[in-house]
Structure 1
Amino acid sequence: MTAALDGLLGRITMYRLTLILLLVLTVEALVLSLTGLLAYTPAEIGGTLVAAVGGTIIGTRLMALILRLRPHGDSSLITGLIVFLIMFPSSTAAGLGGVLVAGIAAGASKFLLAFKGRHIFNPAATGAVVATLFGVGAAAWWVANAYMLPVVAVGAALLLYRTRKLSMAAVFLVVALGILLFNLVQGGMLPGAGLQLVLTSYPVLFLLGFMMTEPLTLPPLRWQQWLFAAIVATVFALQVSIGPVFLGPEFALVIGNAVAFLLGQRRGVRLSFDGSRQLTPTSTELVFRPAKPVRFRAGQYMELSMPHRGADSRGSRRVFSITSAPQQSDAVTFGLRTTETGSSFKKALLELPKDASITGTVVGGDFTLPRDPSVPLLLAAGGIGVTPFISQLRELAARGEERDVVLVYAVRSVQEIAFRDELTDLGTRVVVFMPSADGLPSLPDGWTYGGERPAAEKLLAAVPDLKQRKVLVSGSPSFIGNFRSEVRTAGVSRVRTDAFLGY
């Protein structure tokens, strides 16, 4: 089931998935209001929707015009819909004016409260905070109600699963529910009734799934995300006030965003384009000269920022796995899939003239090898998912460290095997899986053909000690889902993954 879900979600970018789920919630809210199941009239819901989305578009486009940048359409709609779902619905001029201010502040904050092209605070939460502090509006978080809970819960679960933030979610839920239930039980409420009240009246799931998963405001490492979740949960659940200001969920998230920014301080580095080489008919490795050495661990990624003409809905920032070894201080390289239907960012990246500069904004990720060199490893790559493993194998060679490593490499054809010569020179033990209609494919000496697809029995035949190996998997969500299912069938209990999320 997880393989099918990975395949389905992997076809949709995170921006588009979030937008679809928010539109579903918006339609549901309008229907519930028309049927009298919400405490707000259709006029209040409709007016608030127009003010929130309209204000966000105004704030975004105004700042983009002033700074001569291209506004991100999907992002503006997402922010506007979240503002709509959290601000107090109204049909009065004053009330709608407050929602409009929240929307404008939310849109403008992406540009005004930003560092090296990344906004620091969640825009919708920022808009609500601004409206509250100026006394023109307030956040009601009315999306937290019993009728909308099922859709919110499913949507939050899909977003958390798609972004692989389930461990962060667990930290948030344990802390937030723990504090809230403790206080309710102390007040005389039964635990079951308290849990029901929290889930139907507090925006626990919406805050977690739809707002805390925003990629641009998350710190880059897992432990930092856990700390971020714990801080937001604590401020949210304690429900404290500073003077006349109640620190609601929007304040909790903004405070957490500030801590996250300090934890993952972005020390941008200028990268000068030095050239490229074709890896396969559909993949390329790009080489850049950093203005200063880039510090990273093999297997991590770097976010690249490159404003360009005709930017599509995916924007001007993308994340790519680093393929160079950390020891290579004079260059940093990235491997990427290059297809005709690629994003505008990739197309602009591939058309860079020599010595053109872009910015590397942040290094992150926890997809690294175990520190204990005695642990036997199985690295499984689907297509261009081999890129983090190339960095790791290059690092092992640079350090002269020998490890028991098997690379399982699933590709569509012999021509799609990237880094073939280098893997041979490194002496890596490679097991290849690919369709082969004309008999056994021609592979380098020492390589093994495992079959057309990495099924459990084929994996065990090619790697008999599979159960004793630590398994790391990199590739598309569908590849990861299928491979994880097969190795679990083969008897492997835990698998580390590095999905390409496709923001």
Structure 2
Amino acid sequence: MTAVLDGLLGRITLYRLTLTLLLVLAAEALVLSVAGLLAYTPAELGGTLVAAVGGTIIGTRLMALILRLRPHGESSLITGLIVFLIMFPSSTAAGLGGILVAGLAAGASKFLLAFRGRHIFNPAAAGAVVATLLGVGAAAWWVANAYMLPVVVVGAALLLYRTRKLSMGAVFLGVALGILLVGLVQGGMAPGAGLQLVLTSYPVLFLLGFMMTEPLTLPPLRWQQWVFAAVVAVVFALQLSVGPVFLGPEFALVIGNAVAFLMGQRRGVRLSFTGSRRLTPTSTELAFAPAKPVRFRAGQYMELSMPHRRADSRGSRRVFSITSAPQQSDTVTFGLRTTESGSSFKKALLDLPKDARVTGTLVGGDFRLPRDPSVPLLLAAGGIGITPFLSQLRDLAARGETRDVVLVYVVRGEQEIAFRDELADLGARVVLFLPSGGDVPPLPGAWTHAGADPTAGNLLAAVPDLRRRTVLVSGSPRFIEEFRSAVREAGVPRVKTDAFLGY
């Protein structure tokens, strides 16, 4: 089931998925308004939608024009729709003016409230905060209502799953619901009624799924994301006031963003393209020179932003695993699958001229080796899933650290073996799985051919001590699901995974 879901979600970028879900919510709201099921008229919602989206687009494009930058269209629409769903709807000139200010501030905040090319605060939350502090508008978070709850639940669940932030969501819900329910129960409400009230009247799920998962304002590591979620939950649930200003959900998120900013990559990464090389008939490695050394840990990824003409549905931002070692300060490399049917983004990457500029918008990921060097490891790569492991093996070599590592490498054919020379030079013990048929090609000394498929029996035959090893798996959702099933059948209870969605 997870492989099917990963396959479906992998066909669309996170930005396009978020935009689609928000458009569904906006359309549903207008239908509910026409049916008389919302407290706001179609005129109020229509005017609010135009002011929120229009203000955000104007604010974004104006600042981009002043700073001579290219705006991100999908991001502007996402921000504008969120502003629409959280600001108090109105049809009066004053009310719409306040919403317009919130949209303008939201769009401009991506450039003005930024540090070295990386914005600090969730734009929609920042816009609502600015409008509130100026006294021209207020956030009502009217998206939190019983009629829209089912769509919000599904949308939040999809976004949390797509971004692999389910554990962060659990922390937020545990803290926020706990505090809110304790207060309601102490006030005399039954726990069940209190939970129903919270879910239908508080924007718990919308805030979590549609705003807290915004990638550019999240800290990079899982434990940092838990801290971020807890901070937002506490401020949100305590419903505090500072003087006349009520610290609503928008303030809670902005405060959490500030904490996240202090923990994460605090600047955008400016990269200059230096060259590429073909790894296999279907994969390529790209090399870039960073303007300043990039801080990352072996196994992490970077999101690249490259606005380009005729961008397809996957957009102008993509995530790629880093293949270089953290110690290689003058070069950052990425390995990616490249086929004729690839995305417009990948095609634009492959057509980059020398010294072309690309922006790395975030560095993150928890797909890292255990800290304890005595833990024996089995790294399983399906095709281009080899990329994070190459960075990790290069890192071990650069630090002179010796570990008991077995690399299981599953490819479709001999020509699809990427980084063969590098793996041989690193002295990696590789267990190779190739499709049946034909002779097995000559292999480096530390390599063995273990069969056509990584079944439980083949794995145990090739790696007899498999059960005592910590297993990390990287590749397509289907490969991960199949390999996880095989090692579980072999007696390994848990594996750590790194799914390449849409690769």
Does TM, scored on the shorter chain, surpass 0.5? yes
* Correspondence list, 1:120-131, <5 A: 120-131=120-131
Tell me which amino acid in the other structure corresponds to 1:191. P
Question: Cα distance 1:51–1:5, how it changes in 2: closer, same or farther (>3 A)?
Answer: same
**Residue 187 of structure 1: how far off its partner (Å):** 1.2
Residue 182 (structure 1) shift = 1.3
Quickly say closer, same or farther: Cα 1:455–1:39, change in 2 above 3 A: farther
The match for 1:183 is 183
Partner of 2:410: 410
Distance in 1 between residues matched to 2:160 and 2:399, nearest whole Å:
37
Letter in 1 for 2:195: L
Structure 1 window deviating more from structure 2 (99-108 vs 12-21): it is 99-108
Kept in 2: contact 1:381–1:408 (CA 8 A): yes
Identity of aligned residues (%): 85
Change (3 A) 1:16 1:361: closer
Separation in structure 2 between the aligned mates of residue 197 and residue 20 of structure 1, nearest angstrom: 28
- Mapped to 2, the partners of 1:61 and 1:444 lie a distance apart of 55
Runs of 5+ consecutive residues of structure 2 not aligned to the other structure: none
Residue 320 (structure 1) shift: 3.0
Which residue in 1 is equivalent to 2:24?
Answer: 24
- SS in structure 1 opposite 2:54? helix
Does the 8 A contact of 1:3 with 1:485 survive in 2?
Answer: no
Asked if the contact 1:72–1:315 (Cα under 8 Å) also holds between the matched residues in 2, the reply is: no
Deviates more, 1:222-231 or 1:329-338: 329-338
SS of the residue corresponding to residue 286 of structure 2 reads strand
- SS of the equivalent of 2:403 reads coil
Deviation at 1:317? 5.2
Stretch moving more, 220-229 or 62-71: 62-71
Q: Distance in 2 between matches of 1:393 and 1:265?
A: 23
Deviation, structure 1 residue 441: 4.2
Compute the RMSD of aligned alpha carbons: 2.7
| Structure 2 CA distance for partners of 1:189 and 1:374, relative to 1, 3 Å | same
Aligned-partner Cα distance in 1 for 2:77–2:413: 41
- Indicate conservation of the 8 Å contact 1:301/1:365, yes or no: yes
Q: Where does residue 488 of structure 1 map in the other structure?
A: 488
> Do the aligned partners of residues 456 and 99 (structure 1) sit closer, same or farther apart at CA in structure 2, a change above 3 Å counting?
farther
Partner of 2:173: 173
2:237 corresponds to 1:237: yes
Aligned partner of 2:339 in structure 1 is 339
**2:284 maps to 1:284:** yes
Residue 367 of structure 2 corresponds to 367
Shift of 1:395: 2.4
Aligned AA (2:441): S
47-56 or 320-329: bigger deviation: 320-329
- Rounded to whole Å, the distance in 1 between the matches of 2:124 and 2:464 is 52
The aligned runs of 1:100-499 (5 Å cut-off) are: 100-267=100-267, 271-290=271-290, 293-304=293-304, 318-343=318-343, 345-355=345-355, 358=358, 362-436=362-436, 438-439=437-438, 441-442=440-441, 444-445=443-444, 446-499=446-499
- What CA distance in whole angstroms lies between the structure 1 residues aligned with 2:267 and 2:321? 18
Q: Secondary structure at the match of 2:139?
A: coil
Which stretches in structure 1 are left out of the alignment for 5+ residues? Answer: none
Residue deviations 1:12-55, cap 9 Å, x none?
A: 11111111111221222222222222222222222222222222
Deviation at 1:127, TM superposition (A): 1.5
Query: How many residues were matched structurally?
Result: 502
Aligned twin of 2:40: 40
- Please give the alpha-carbon distance, in whole angstroms, between the structure 1 residues aligned to 2:498 and 2:112: 33
Map of 2:57 onto structure 1: 57
Query: Compared with structure 1, are the counterparts of its residues 72 and 307 closer, same or farther at alpha carbon in structure 2 (3 Å cutoff)?
Result: closer
* Partner SS, residue 441 of structure 2: coil
What is the one-letter code of the residue matched to 2:474?
S
1:324-366 CA-to-partner distances (Å, cap 9, x unmatched) read 2234344333222233454555444434444555555654322
Q: Kindly tell me: are residues 481 and 253 of structure 1, through their superposed partners in 2, closer, same or farther at Cα, counting changes over 3 Å?
A: farther
Q: Provide the C-alpha distance between the structure 2 equivalents of 1:499 and 1:213, rounded to a whole number of angstroms.
A: 18
SS in 2 for 1:472: strand
Moved more, 316-325 or 118-127: 316-325
Match of 2:13 in 1: 13
Shift of 1:58: 2.2
Distance in 1 between residues matched to 2:3 and 2:359, nearest whole Å:
35
Task: Tell me how far apart the structure 2 counterparts of residues 40 and 268 of structure 1 sit (CA, whole Å).
Answer: 41
CA deviations over 1:170-202 (Å, ceiling 9, x no partner) = 111111111111111121112221111111111
Alpha-carbon distance in 1 for matches of 2:113, 2:455:
49
How many Å apart are 1:241 and its aligned residue?
A: 0.8
Which residue pairs with 1:80 in the alignment? 80
Residues 104-160 of structure 1: CA deviation (Å, up to 9, x unaligned) = 222222222222332211111111112211222211111111121121111111110
The CA deviation at 1:485 is: 4.0
Amino acid of the structure 2 residue aligned with 1:207: L
1-structure distance, mates of 2:86, 2:427: 57
Distance 1:316 1:28 in 2: 28
**1:224 CA displacement:** 1.4
Deviates more, 1:79-88 or 1:201-210: 79-88
Q: Report the CA distance between 1:212 and its aligned residue.
A: 0.4
Q: Distance in 2 between matches of 1:307 and 1:9?
A: 22
Distance in 1 between residues matched to 2:117 and 2:31, nearest whole Å: 38
Alpha-carbon contact 1:380-1:473 (below 8 Å) kept: yes
Question: Residues 463 and 33 from structure 1, CA distance in 2 versus in 1: closer, same or farther, beyond 3 angstroms?
Answer: farther
CA distance in 2 between counterparts of 1:76 and 1:117 reads 16
Q: Is 1:109–1:119's contact at 8 Å kept on the other side of the alignment?
A: yes
Mapped to 2, the partners of 1:177 and 1:412 lie a distance apart of 48
- For the residue of structure 2 that corresponds to 1:11, the secondary structure is coil
Contact between 1:163 and 1:501, CA under 8 Å: does it hold in 2? no
Describe the shift of the 1:388–1:69 C-alpha distance in structure 2 as closer, same or farther (beyond 3 A).
same
CA deviation string 1:394-435 (max 9, x = no partner)? 222334433222222233322121011222333323233454
1:477, 1:117 → 2: CA distance?
33
CA distance in 1 between partners of 2:313 and 2:119 (Å): 17
Provide closer, same or farther for how the CA distance between residues 11 and 481 of structure 1 changes in structure 2, counting only shifts above 3 A. farther
Change (3 A) 1:54 1:293: closer
Q: Distance in 2 between matches of 1:489 and 1:18?
A: 37
CA contact (8 A) 1:160 1:209 kept: yes
- Equivalents in 1 of 2:462, 2:75: separation in Å? 46
